[in-house]
A and B are shown apart, each in its own frame.
Chain A
Amino acid sequence: MTPVIEARGLGKVHGSGEAEVVALRDVDLDLDHGEFLAVTGPSGCGKSTLLNLLGGLDRPTTGEISLHGERIDDAGEARRARLRRSELGYVFQFFNLIDNLTVADNVELPALLAGVPTREARRRAARLLERLGLAETAGRVPGSLSGGQQQRVAIARALVNRPSVLLADEPTGNLDSAAAREVVSVLRERSEEGQAIVLVTHDLRVASAAHRVLRMRDGAVVGEADLEGEAASGEALSRVLPLEG
């Protein structure tokens, strides 16, 4: 089956002449249906740039990206916006919820922008909030929620239009460890239900939830780890405390 996302030879250069900065060089990437991919690396390695390119927030300098087999890197602004509505869901480090709209309003926003009728949008939002355990926050403003709750609202918002791919850029960067674990749980659950996810993070503990982990440095992919190979046997756990002697 064709991968959901196919990217070949992606490159991104900022500035020009002496001030030229190469953010990405010759990156290839495939994302299969239902795959949970993590991209890690030190800050400045280009992982966020890569995510921006995949999400259509930026255009590559070189290379191509295909979504469901169709080229998107050369799409116009309007088409890219529509893609962001229907095919790609975005989650950010700083939640980026609109602070003077209620949680429910925030979640249904992408649906309304896509032209979904109000009632249907409301229904979808309510269902998502329910699934993520946020049903009782629907009428509150984001500012009154904890960090973990806000990020989960952001995830709900990203999922309301049933996107093919969920893109998450350092989603736990602004959260304490407990909240971060909540969020990673949610992502893992979604992944188990078949959602394709690309997660950018510098936190390996977060990355370990993925099926596959890409490592980047200086704008290039320098390593890949497949975490699905050996069954999760519970072995690691039992090895934690060696009680010999």
Chain B
Amino acid sequence: MLRAAGRLIRADLRQRPFQAVLTGLVVAIAAAALLVTLHLRDVMSEPFDDLMRATNGAHVTVTGPRDDVAEAMTLAEVAEAEAPRRQLRVAAGEQARGRLVVSALPVGAAVDRPLATEGRLPRRAGEVAVLAPLALGERLRPGSAMRLGGVRLTVVGVAVTAIPTADAWVVPDQIAALTPAAPEPGDPGDTSATADTGATAATAATAATAATGATGATGDSPVVFEAGLRLRDPDDADLVAARLAARPSLRVSDWLEARTNFTEDSRRNFAILASATLLALLATGFTLATAIGGRAVADRRRIGLLRSVGVTPRGVTAMLVGHYLALALLAAPFGLLAGSLLAPSLFDSSLGLLGMSPPGPPAPLLTGLVLVLVLVAVALACAVPAWRAGRLPPVVALQPTRSGARRASRAARAARALRLPVTATLGAKDAYVRPVRAALTVASLALAAALVVCVLAFEATIDRLVANPALEGEPWDMEIFTDAMRPAEVDRLLATVDGLRVIGHRYDVRATAGGIEFQGRVIDGPPEAFAFAVPEGRGVRRAGEVTLGRGALDALGVEIGDTVTLEVGGRAFSARVVGRHIEPSDDGRGAVTLASSVPAAALPRPNWILRLDPGADTERVGAAIERLGEGRLLVDRPLGSAEANPVRLIVYGVTALLLAIAAVNLLTTLLLGVRERRRDLAVLGAVGATRRQLTRTVVFGGLVLAVPAAVLGLPLGAVLFTTIVRLTDSADGADVARLPSWLSVALALPVGLAAVALVSALAAREARRVAIASALRAE
């Protein structure tokens, strides 16, 4: 029995190599997609988890005055902790441009040991290791020199920690020698409620009350202490962190949050990939069912013969399924190989930041599992049609001719009613001659159409975000940062620049309310120029108003119209919630208010936000500002379209896969149709249809399948896109996402139909090969 099956399979591969290749291709694609998706799911947090292990990472980090930190270490949940290490905010760089946080290295078998990805950790004074993203941004390498806190240090290595709390590390002795930068409101450790009243942030910077080396003195010390805590139960980290954060003097981070941030990109990619893989598997199933249905028809006779010599229905089913399993077994490894090679490139974006190398290719165990899953899926897809084929009574199967249709084709009737040309009528009736097969192909094409709609929607959304940065929570054309110039200087400088319509200040603060901390943006400038996107309620217009992101609203449990008490820089003030603004970062935990609402002393150094004149060249204005600033100003712009490229890769890649599968399905269906209706095609030729008319028949057949697919697929795509957006960005996705314009769909439709026509034309080549005379002579 097995040998007979083997022979059957080999015969079929030799007889219909093209079809076997097509089917194999589809299986390989599905296998690749499945492998990549599952692998991504597995390894999403792998680099992060590896890092936690390598650094003996902290589950919670606390930063603040020594006593408070020490107290935090005594919590019942803490399993391991080190003595608090000093942390210092210092001025960095030759021109003291920036401010960096420098930590002392932990000693001994420490918690939260930085891991050197290049070079080594400092061993003596004069040496420093810098955080990987900083090294990347400032182009620092082992051997570079840098100036920190007034001291010249040599970079000996690049390092990372799981929870980024410091920008650089030095030995404990070294930290004493560094000059701390002047403290600013909102820095950790600043518990003073009464700094110089009325003093602006600018004057505070010049005060230079350097408390060198002072430890633990409350009020004015820029030196704080940091401790990493390892908990007995790591999953409690967020609860512990919340408890500790209630203390105003402490700044707290937990590893779960860090991990979520790290995997943010991957999670989004995974949602997209998973949805697409599911669709790909579905489409593969359709294609297989179509192919096997066609085999059953074409091989009726062979099956009949087998049955008449005693093979049971189950035997026939087993042979058919076995045939396709063998094919899948041959094809899947190619797909698995492709997937293994492809998978690592999906992780690059987020890992560059950690300086980590991407996780390796999928493990053999996972690959084996995927192979098994693919075989199971193939078996399932084949089961029903194979079973039906097996059940055919031998007598029926051995009948030489088709008994003929019992009823005229309804598709033909419909086509005639629509006054379509005769080739369309013929194509329509052939396309729908087997309703089940037609349905499967339409479904597969509809999936492809849906995915194309998703791609268009994706691009439309990106365009919208680029055009309206408010949707990213960044309603300005340009941002300016500086630590090296005084605000008044910057204001004066900017006033001389051409092309600026509005200049405003933006203060980035940490706001606390109800024990919960979130980021706050305080805008000093005309609110109409910097209008945040507000789906509910309205934007802030005057003092005493605030808008919150969805996450903040939920966390605080307030509604629009309520009044909240916010604390910024140690000062409390109340404001009425007038609206919900779109806040993509931090799950929507953000607040926006005007500078006039906040006590002035609470505000730190400003950043500048600019609105350009319409038609102004962003690049030139930015370059002009940088030139004027003589390198002391950092110019930045909100989201550009290119930033979406990593996701683009996945979205387009996946769409291409599904389009390939749909094309294979269509080609298979049409080829099967042509083969089964060879005689009709010969008849058409005999009554005078030209080759071109025959081609048109097949092409119309494809189009007639594509049109209902488009009708189904377009709304399906809209639903799919909004669902995926909801999965990846539950906070504001629904507000931000945009469905493609009617115009782009109207443009895409003819392109899609043209593609269908092209595929159909391939099948039509087969139609033209029908030799009329011999086809009509045979029974």
Contacts and interface: CB of A to CB of B under 8 A. Distances in A.
A86 B777 CA distance: 22
A78 B406 contact: no
A92 B777 CA distance: 8
Contact of A141 (B406, B680, B686, B772): B406
A105 B408 contact: yes
Contacts of B683: 96-98
Interface in B375-413: 402-409, 412
A90 interface: yes
A141 B412 contact: no
A58 interface: yes
Contacts of A99: 402, 404-405, 680
B688 A57 contact: no
Contacts of B408: 100-102, 105, 141
A226 interface: no
Interface string B654-683: 000000000000000000000000011011
Contact of A78 (B429, B691, B777): B691
A113 B776 contact: no
B692 A78 contact: yes
Contacts of B412: 100-101, 105
Contacts of B687: 84-85, 90, 109-110, 113, 157-158
Contacts of B407: 100, 141
B779 A94 contact: yes
Contacts of B433: 100
Chain A CB count within 10 A is highest, among B419, B688, B693, for B688
Contacts of A29: none
Interface in A110-144: 110, 112-114, 118, 141-144
Interface residues of B, number: 33
Contact of A77 (B403, B419, B679, B691): B691
Chain A interface main SS type: helix
Given A98-B683, A109-B422, A143-B403, A86 B688 contact: yes
A62 interface: no
B596 interface: no
Contacts of B693: 81, 113
Interface residues of A, number: 38
B688 A114 contact: yes
B722 to A, nearest CB: 42
Most chain B CB within 10 A, of A58, A90, A93, A100, is at A100
A109 B681 CA distance: 13
B422 A112 contact: yes
B776 A92 contact: yes
A75 to B, nearest CB: 12
Interface in A55-74: 55, 57-58
A8 interface: no
Interface string B686-703: 111111110000000000
Nearest to A109: B687
B475 interface: no
Given A57-B772, A101-B412, A113 B686 contact: no
A35 B131 CA distance: 101
Contacts of A141: 404-408
Nearest to B685: A81
Nearest to A57: B773
A164 interface: no
A78 B773 CA distance: 16
Contact of B688 (A81, A98, A102): A81
A82 interface: yes
A55 B686 CA distance: 9
A23 to B, nearest CB: 12
B688 A85 contact: yes
B684 interface: yes
Contacts of B402: 99
Contact of B404 (A58, A77, A143): A143
Nearest to B423: A113
Nearest to B401: A94
B424 to A, nearest CB: 11
Contacts of A100: 405, 407-409, 412, 429, 433
A83 to B, nearest CB: 8
Contact of A98 (B416, B419, B680, B690): B680
Nearest to B419: A118
B776 A94 contact: yes
A96 B686 contact: yes
B403 A113 contact: no
Nearest to A84: B688
Given A92-B776, A141-B405, A81 B429 contact: no
Contacts of A112: 422
Contacts of B773: 52, 57-58
A142 B422 contact: no
Contacts of B692: 78
A195 interface: no
B686 A90 contact: yes
A113 B404 contact: no
25 contacts: A52-B773, A55-B686, A57-B686, A57-B773, A81-B685, A81-B690, A81-B691, A82-B690, A85-B688, A92-B686, A96-B679, A98-B683, A99-B402, A105-B416, A109-B422, A110-B688, A113-B688, A113-B693, A114-B688, A141-B406, A141-B407, A143-B406, A144-B406, A157-B687, A161-B688
Interface of A: 48, 52, 55, 57-58, 77-78, 81-86, 90, 92-94, 96-102, 105, 109-110, 112-114, 118, 141-144, 157-158, 161
Given A99-B405, A99-B680, A101-B412, 7 more contacts: A84-B687, A90-B686, A96-B683, A100-B407, A105-B412, A118-B419, A141-B405
Interface of B: 402-409, 412, 416, 419, 422, 429, 433, 679-680, 682-693, 772-773, 776-777, 779
